[in-house]
Amino acid sequence: MNVSITFRHMEPTESLKTFASKKLERLQKFLRQPMTARVILALDKLEREVEVQIQSGGERYEAKDISDDTYGSIDRVLDKLLHQIRAAHGVESTRRRRGQADLRHADWQAVAAMAGGR
């Protein structure tokens, strides 16, 4: 896992770096290949802006959040990314594999006979 953190118009603190890195480590278990993450933490007037871009194999995810609290923004961005990852992997796992029938085209009498006629 490769994480790069960029600070714009704010002081880089070690606590923010470790917080963002530890939160991003949790997303790796949902991805099939090693990920590369780019985190941008910015201060624009009085608002904190957090933007995260993740690339894993051929997959790419990104999310952005703006609020008054940097730590809360990091949490919300990672929730958005987790939702994107789960949605993408849910679609992939339900796709019909070559040579297999999907549920819409299944032979329901054969399925019922195998289940004991229920």
Domain boundaries, the chain: 2-114
Say what the pTM is.
0.74
Q: Are strands 59-67 and 35-44 parallel, antiparallel or unpaired?
A: unpaired
Q: How confident is the model at residue 1 (pLDDT cuts 50, 70, 90)?
A: confident
Contact 29, 1 (CB under 8 A): no
pLDDT in tens, 92-105: 555 555 555 555 66
Class of domain 2-114: alpha beta
pLDDT in tens, 16-67: 999 999 999 999 988 989 999 999 999 998 899 999 999 998 899 999 999 9
Four-CA torsion 67, 71, 76, 79, nearest 10 degrees: 170
Widest distance between CA atoms in the chain: 68
Q: Half-sphere exposure of 35 toward its Cβ, with a 13 Å CA cutoff?
A: 25
